[in-house]
Amino acid sequence: MNPNYKTIVEPFTFPSGIQLKNRVLMAPMTNSSSLVDGGVSEQELAYYRERSGGVGAVITASSHVSLEGIAFINEIGVDDDALIPSLKILSGTIQAQGAKAILQIYHAGRMASPDLINGKQPIGASAVASERPGSVVPREMTEETIQDTIKAFGEATRRAIEAGFDGVEIQGANTYLIQQFFSAHSNLRSDQWGGTIDKRMAFPLAIIEIVKKTIAKHAKVPFIVGYRLSPEERENPGITMEDTLHLVDVLAEQKLDYIHISVRGFWDGSMRDETDSKSRVLLIQERVGNRVPVIGVGGLSSPEDVNKALETGVPLLALGHAIIMEPKWVEKVINNQENEIRTTLPRTDQKDLVIPDALWNMLINVPGWFPVV
């Protein structure tokens, strides 16, 4: 391989002791290809199998911890013990190719679709609708509902352990329930779960706590715990970078294996202030990178892109679009075939790329999302 890219394939060891064979992970991406009951489909297994040979780890698409928390049709489910056998097949499929398997666990909160939760009103930190078109006003969660949801994350973690996963990623990003509690836009509570920024962190921290307690009780080997966050929100009031730097200071003390930053572009500046052009990923790396590993993401496609990002000191990078368009991305870097890495999505290549029908239809039909040729 090109010696300039040797950093990409250096192994990395998480604080838990689990080692990745290189610095590249497959990013979590919705594929809407599971079965109606939340089980993993054959097309979905093939999709993950094709992409698990080169990367150090695969972070799966979001799996819902509760039937009240579904945002997308045909999601992976981790809400019922009956799904453990299916989840075990998924973890084993990924691991058989050489990657670690990390299950992303989430609850959509107010972003849940009523059509997918039996027509029910979604729940949220407060009765505040998202500013997205067509959003419904959620039902403010009671103390009982909050405690039940925390328990649901614990049970989801137990199922992930029993299904043989190497870890879980807590989805605290992308406007879903955990982020909704942290945001001053969606959390107007005046009890122990809202008000000050520290109280708005109480729910995310309770989720982390029950996940860690569940691991201590059920895991017989080291188990990865990651946390994903979105650094800012456009809404006012909403999450600011100052809020997030306070959050990551606290997260860095939680003995996590990593913090995963959800942004559109690795080098992107603020979405709230056009004059603030400093990379959100690098701001977080500079703040807590010496205390907890940071995973960067966003618009990284070529080996040059990935190498440049690693040179900043961010130790791990997740690839999304690049791994969809080129399942053998890492292998081609290792085999000195980087010139053969696909950078477009040919309309005739669904079978070669092993992409499920539902995901393929989204990729092809959403204008400007992928470079379709």
Could you tell me if 188 and 194 are in contact, meaning their C-beta atoms sit under 8 angstroms apart?
A: yes
Q: Model confidence at 336, in pLDDT bands (50, 70, 90)?
A: very high
Residue-wise pLDDT for 164-179, tens only, equals 999 999 999 999 999 9
Rounded to whole angstroms, the Cα distance separating 99 from 69 reads 28
Rounded to whole angstroms, the Cα distance separating 172 from 144 reads 21
Cα distances (Å, whole numbers) of residue 103 to 59, 225, 298: 6, 10, 20
Question: Token pair for residue 323?
Answer: 């791994």
In-domain check, residue 246? yes
In-domain check, residue 102? yes
pLDDT for residue 181: 98
In-domain check, residue 371? no
pLDDT for residue 310: 98
pLDDT for residue 21: 98
In-domain check, residue 283? yes
In-domain check, residue 370? no
Which of 275-289 are b and which e, b meaning 16 or more Cβ less than 10 Å from the residue's Cβ? eeeebbbbbbbbbbb
Residue-wise pLDDT for 178-211, tens only, equals 999 999 999 999 999 999 999 999 999 999 999 9
Residue-wise pLDDT for 124-159, tens only, equals 999 999 999 989 999 999 999 999 999 999 999 999
pLDDT for residue 359: 98
In-domain check, residue 373? no
Residue-wise pLDDT for 245-291, tens only, equals 999 999 999 999 999 999 999 999 999 999 999 999 999 999 999 99
Q: Model confidence at 226, in pLDDT bands (50, 70, 90)?
A: very high
Rounded to whole angstroms, the Cα distance separating 121 from 41 reads 28
CB under 8 A, 24+ apart: contacts of 346-352: 346/372, 346/373, 347/372, 347/373
Q: Model confidence at 114, in pLDDT bands (50, 70, 90)?
A: very high
- Domain carrying residue 285: 3-365
Query: Considering the chain, what is the average pLDDT of its residues?
Result: 97
pLDDT for residue 312: 98
In-domain check, residue 240? yes
pLDDT for residue 149: 98
Residue-wise pLDDT for 15-51, tens only, equals 999 999 999 999 999 999 999 999 999 999 999 999 9
Rounded to whole angstroms, the Cα distance separating 344 from 117 reads 36
Say which CATH number the domain at 15 has: 3.20.20.70
Q: In sequence order, which residues have a C-beta less than 8 Å from that of residue 173 and are 6 or more positions away? A: 179, 228, 229, 230, 260, 262
Whole-model pTM?
0.98
| Tally of domains within the chain | 1
